[in-house]
Every structure is written in C-alpha cells, then in structure tokens.
Amino acid sequence: MEHYTALSPYLKRRFGCKVYKLSLSAGCTCPNRDGTLGTRGCIFCSGSGEFAASGSASIPEQLEQAKYILGKKAQGAKFIAYFQDFTNTYGAVSRLEPLFLAAMEPDDVVALSIATRPDCLPEDILRMLARLRAKKPVFVELGLQTIHDNTAQYIRRGYPLSVFDDAVQKLHVLEIEVIAHQILGLPGETAEMMAETTRHLGSVHVDGVKLHLLHILRGTDLAREYADGRIQMLELDAYIDILEQCLAVLPPDVVIHRLTGDGAKRDLIAPLWSADKKRVLSAIQKRFEQDGVMQGSALRG
C-alpha cells in the first residue's frame, strides 16, 4: 500500500523511467550570508549540500561528475538538473540563464530544479524562469521551514510568511512547480505547530514537500546552542509520530520529496540515529504500515 505520494515512483510515472537528481552549483551566495540580510546565515545552515559538484567546473563538466558519482544507476536513466547549494536565483539573469540553459539542454535531462529563497524572485528572474519553463518543466524549491513567526525569527530566515505565499502564487501563474522545505523539530515547536505548517503548505497548493528532520551540523550557530544544552533533539519514534501528523493534513496529490534529513554526514553532530538512513526509512515504513497512515486522511469528510 502506498502511504504517501513518494517522489521516485511519481517521477517514474511522469517521465516513464527512473529519474535521478544531478546536484549542480551556480556559484551563488545568499543574502543571509553576504551581509544583505545577515552574515551568519540561517541558524542551522552549514552552507552547502553534501553532493554538490565542484562549482568551479563548467555545467557540462558538473553534469558528468554528478553522473559519475551515481555510477551504474545512471545508465538508461533520466535526470533532473538540480541547483542545490545557497540561493540559486541570487545573481544577474545574464549570468544565471546560460547556466540553467546548459544544464537543461541534454536530452536525458527532463527537468530543471532550482533551490532558492522566495525573497529572491524579482520580476526579471521570474521572466527568466518563464523562458526556461517553455523548454522543460521547472521546479523551484523554497526553504520555508515553518509558518510560525517566532521560530522564523529564531532561525533567522529573514522574510515573512506573506513573501513565501506571494512567491508560490507568482510561480504557479508561470506553471512553475513549487517544492517547499519544512524542518521538523525546530526548538520551541510542538507537533501541532509543525502540522499547522504542513497544513498551510497544502492550502497554498505547493506541488511537493521536503520534510527534514532538524540536524545539528558542525560549524553552525545551532551547534553552539546544542553544545550549551539549550536544544532537545527528537528521538526516532517521536519523529515518526510527527511525520504521521503532518502527512495526515497534506493533500494526497502533493509529492513527498523527502521524509528525513539530508545533512552532510561528515558534519553531523546530532541526532546520530539519523545517519543510518536505511534504518530510519525502514522504521518509518514499518510504523506507517502498523498505523495505517494515509496522506491527507485528516482532510477527508
């Protein structure tokens, strides 16, 4: 039984074969780091994704590197070119557009995915995204993390919820799909608060959701707070309880891109149980079966 709309089978249905993401870098920074909004970044952010290819390489070279990392799995598969690290629309259109075009040009690249912030989507960037969308499907990933103001301030997100809602609406007008990131386990949030965030994502009709477990990563300000004993981490069982509550309030057509975290293992301080991803996913699956979890079950009737 499918307990939720999982990404991998969804992509297979949509594109007719196995689809993998190739992580690329556009060499952007972030307004939360370069001094525009702040210099220390979001409190949990270590800067870049684990698998981003070398940003100094050309896009064709980065695509090849990322395929090489996938190994045999890449044979006969299709790909999503995924600009993952930092804020990938934070730059001039004249620099970014050629990079995105190069990434989506190969025949085996079926879509483009761009991770960014909702406050970094000015009109000229939106027009660029519309041009890219005319070629292949475009996904924009937005790291909302929470709808709650106090938590947003604590994590130093740097924009209000209204900016996110507005961005989702503008992107949808351009037929660009939106994937929202939510972190579960942020300090001060109850399970009900987390489910409220997920419910909101459903109500603004995001197309996909990445549910991340809060990770403490080396070198972040959150790591300092953790070392001072100010942060409680979730245990696996409690995390699955929260996942179940969140999935219950999310419409079944929203694709679940992630059910755990994706922190760089070499930098992971806590919770260490999350490093064994296979074990975590198998525990989630087992509990979903036991509890008869169905995405959107709390929205029926």
- Number of Cβ within a 10 Å radius of residue 163: 18
Report the residue from 41, 208, 263, 271 that binds ligand SF4 according to the rule CB under 6 A: 41
Distances (CA, A) of 202 to 43, 115, 252: 26, 19, 9
Q: Does 117 bind ligand SF4 (CB under 6 A)?
A: yes
CB of 34 closer than 8 Å to CB of 126 = no
Q: What is the DSSP string of 175-218?
A: T-EEEEEEEES-TT--HHHHHHHHHHHHHTT-SEEEEEE--EET
Closest approach of Cβ 40 to ligand SF4, in Å?
A: 8
Coil, helix or strand for 231?
coil
Per-residue tokens: 174: 């351009």
Closest approach of Cβ 182 to ligand SF4, in Å?
A: 13
Q: Does 220 bind ligand SF4 (CB under 6 A)?
A: no
Closest approach of Cβ 34 to ligand SF4, in Å?
A: 9
CB of 100 closer than 8 Å to CB of 139 = no
Q: Does 32 bind ligand SF4 (CB under 6 A)?
A: yes
Report the residue from 30, 138, 186, 195 that binds ligand SF4 according to the rule CB under 6 A: 30
**Number of residues forming the site for ligand SF4 (CB under 6 A):** 10
Instruction: Identify residues 77-96 at the interface with ligand SF4 (CB under 6 A).
Output: 86-87
Q: At what angle do helices 93-104 and 59-70 cross, to 10 degrees?
A: 40
Q: Does 143 bind ligand SF4 (CB under 6 A)?
A: yes
Closest approach of Cβ 52 to ligand SF4, in Å?
A: 12
DSSP H helices in the chain = 7-15, 59-70, 93-104, 123-133, 149-154, 161-173, 191-203, 221-227, 236-248, 277-291
Sole window of 29-37, 56-64, 71-79, 275-283 interacting with ligand SF4 (rule: CB under 6 A)? 29-37
Sole window of 38-46, 54-62, 225-233, 290-298 interacting with ligand SF4 (rule: CB under 6 A)? 38-46
What residues line the site for ligand SF4 (CB under 6 A)?
30, 32-33, 41-42, 45, 86-87, 117, 143
